[in-house]
Chains A and B, each alone.
Chain A
Amino acid sequence: MIKKLLVANRGEIAVRIFRTCERLGIRTVAVFSDADEEAVHTKAADEARWIGPARVKESYLNADKILEVAKETGADAIHPGYGFLSENPDFSRRVKEAGITFIGPAENIMETMGNKIAAREAMIEAGVPVVPGATLKSENEDEVAKVCAEIGYPVMIKAASGGGGIGMQRVDHKDELVKVLPSVIKKAETFFGSAELYVEKFIENPRHIEAQVFGDHHGNVVCLGERDCSIQRRNQKIIEEAPAPKLSDETRKSLFAYAEKAAGNIGYTNAGTIEFLVDSDENIYFLEMNTRLQVEHPVTEEVTGIDLVEWQIRIAEEKRISDLEERNMSYEHAIEVRVYAEDPVTFFPSPGKLKRWSFPQMEDIRYDSGVEEGVQVTPFYDPMLAKIIAKGSSRQDAIEKMSACLEKAEVEGIKTNIPMLIETLQHDVFKEGSATTQFVQQYVIEKSSKV
């Protein structure tokens, strides 16, 4: 049994994990950097320990210091949250070597799924459909152009070991390829330390639909449903919901079957998310697997009644999936919006002091927040401030509750994307449930052409 858990993360996800720990009677340890001394998560745990200066490399990515704090505080488990060290196999290996439970899958699986090429091969082996594509070991323009032509334009070029949308580039024809190639290579080298590229067919107007899976240490795997995360900007999600609107039962069934096949075949343990692209003909393509808890996990929690963090902890304790509970009431539909500190039109970041941060107390609205009024939003970390989850008896019900909530929100001192979220929720295409991953781009274009 886990008795004391350290969260190697910050912000809303640390706070959210502490909440479940408190309910389960598990003691908690927060870690914080110089910039987070007064942060909400620092105050939300039983104990808080300083781990270094503001910059992530010296604090939230500082495995040595985090392990040292874990040992000092007597933590018997580490939850990595998402981002930071959550998908770092070296970190999880070191955690285990220190005799501490790592809440996540085995390192070898993390390694495989963290590499786009290896992940893709594993999926092909499991019989899961993938997007046509190839690895580019060569930086030779002509060879790259040849491969792109074989796959067929438009193509997407990205760093083979990349993530978070950084360094991803759509290319429509050869001339464009020649123009963008050096910068794509440079970004791959700068951000991911490798010039290895991956090129794949660009699926036009797809929906991003992902499946939440769990595997236990006894060979059992389950899919807990899907989430539609098509509303994205710069390949980062903004609005997520469960279930996916307008998805045929047949496609949903195939998606779950693929997800379970994928997780089962690799012997996955703990929580994971298998991301798919679904095109207008409902063809399903594997995109990637995230070997951790996902930012948008709350929408699955609200439609299943399962506390996913509780399941993660219990599975790490080697419990069987069949022995785990559905604890809460479940709803027909749930929507999550991510509140970002950014300009709602240009999407540029907006750090600064949160002079006002006020949201209405409403039924069926859940707040997973990492900030409070008066805190300084620093430029060192991700711009996501909070997630708001609306649950309802139908999709329309959830949308209406969310809109009502956001209309009453009062934030001052920094810019946020709330105006953009409200407009999206009220946009006909979104309301219809027809939004694809192109929605934001389309919406921004629509908006700027009106000005």
Chain B
Amino acid sequence: MKEVKTSMAGNVWKVQVTQGDQVTAGQEVVILESMKMEIPITAEEDGVVEELKVEEGSFVNEDDVLMTLK
């Protein structure tokens, strides 16, 4: 199973995909807000969004899984 993880701690500001969406490697899928800055998180591989693990407003720590892809 493929996962999209966050590179740093912060608040999930925007989730830009929904379950079932096709994503490609390098595509911005989540925007995190950390220390007053927007941090785009990109998918590292192609896939279809299987499950979103966070929602807008969630707090995440470094390496938390944001979503799984299949």
Binding site for B on A (CB under 8 A): 55, 164, 234, 341-342, 348-351, 378-383
Contact with A along B24-62 (1 / 0, CB 8 A): 000000000011110100000000000000000000000
Determine the distance from Cα of A55 to Cα of B59 in the docked complex, in whole angstroms.
Answer: 10
Contact A351 B35 (CB under 8 A): yes
A contact residues around B36 at 8 Å (CB): 164, 381-383
Number of A-B contacts (CB under 8 A): 35
Q: Nearest chain-B residue to A164 (Cβ)?
A: B36
- Nearest CB of chain A from residue B58's CB, rounded to whole Å: 12
B contact residues around A383 at 8 Å (CB): 35-37
- Nearest CB of chain A from residue B51's CB, rounded to whole Å: 24
B contact residues around A379 at 8 Å (CB): 8-11, 34-35
B contact residues around A164 at 8 Å (CB): 36
Excluding A351-B35, A379-B10, A382-B36, 11 further A-B contacts by CB distance (< 8 Å) are A164-B36, A349-B8, A349-B39, A351-B9, A351-B34, A379-B8, A379-B9, A379-B11, A381-B35, A381-B36, A383-B35
Question: Please, could you name 14 A-B residue pairs with CB atoms under 8 Å apart, sorted by A?
Answer: A164-B36, A348-B8, A348-B39, A349-B8, A349-B10, A378-B9, A379-B8, A379-B11, A379-B34, A380-B35, A381-B36, A382-B36, A383-B35, A383-B36
B contact residues around A341 at 8 Å (CB): 35
A contact residues around B37 at 8 Å (CB): 234, 348-349, 383
Q: Nearest chain-A residue to B9 (Cβ)?
A: A379
B contact residues around A382 at 8 Å (CB): 35-36
- Nearest CB of chain B from residue A324's CB, rounded to whole Å: 34
Binding site for A on B (CB under 8 A): 8-11, 34-37, 39
Determine the distance from Cα of A342 to Cα of B34 in the docked complex, in whole angstroms.
Answer: 11
A contact residues around B10 at 8 Å (CB): 349, 351, 379
Determine the distance from Cα of A234 to Cα of B35 in the docked complex, in whole angstroms.
Answer: 14
Most A Cβ at <10 Å: residue of B9, B11, B35, B36: B35
- Nearest CB of chain B from residue A257's CB, rounded to whole Å: 35
Determine the distance from Cα of A382 to Cα of B34 in the docked complex, in whole angstroms.
Answer: 9
Most B Cβ at <10 Å: residue of A342, A349, A381: A349
- Nearest CB of chain A from residue B49's CB, rounded to whole Å: 22
- Nearest CB of chain A from residue B35's CB, rounded to whole Å: 4
- Nearest CB of chain B from residue A280's CB, rounded to whole Å: 31
Determine the distance from Cα of A69 to Cα of B34 in the docked complex, in whole angstroms.
Answer: 28
Q: Nearest chain-A residue to B33 (Cβ)?
A: A379
- Nearest CB of chain B from residue A303's CB, rounded to whole Å: 30
Determine the distance from Cα of A349 to Cα of B37 in the docked complex, in whole angstroms.
Answer: 8
- Nearest CB of chain B from residue A33's CB, rounded to whole Å: 14
Q: Nearest chain-A residue to B57 (Cβ)?
A: A55
Determine the distance from Cα of A341 to Cα of B36 in the docked complex, in whole angstroms.
Answer: 12
B contact residues around A378 at 8 Å (CB): 9
A contact residues around B39 at 8 Å (CB): 348-349
A contact residues around B8 at 8 Å (CB): 348-351, 379
- Nearest CB of chain A from residue B8's CB, rounded to whole Å: 7
Q: Nearest chain-A residue to B10 (Cβ)?
A: A379
B contact residues around A234 at 8 Å (CB): 37
A contact residues around B34 at 8 Å (CB): 349, 351, 379
- Nearest CB of chain A from residue B56's CB, rounded to whole Å: 11
B contact residues around A55 at 8 Å (CB): 11
A contact residues around B11 at 8 Å (CB): 55, 379
- Nearest CB of chain B from residue A279's CB, rounded to whole Å: 29
Most B Cβ at <10 Å: residue of A164, A341, A383: A383
Determine the distance from Cα of A341 to Cα of B8 in the docked complex, in whole angstroms.
Answer: 12
B contact residues around A342 at 8 Å (CB): 35
- Nearest CB of chain B from residue A87's CB, rounded to whole Å: 16
Q: Nearest chain-A residue to B7 (Cβ)?
A: A348
- Nearest CB of chain B from residue A23's CB, rounded to whole Å: 31
- Nearest CB of chain A from residue B1's CB, rounded to whole Å: 27
Determine the distance from Cα of A164 to Cα of B37 in the docked complex, in whole angstroms.
Answer: 11
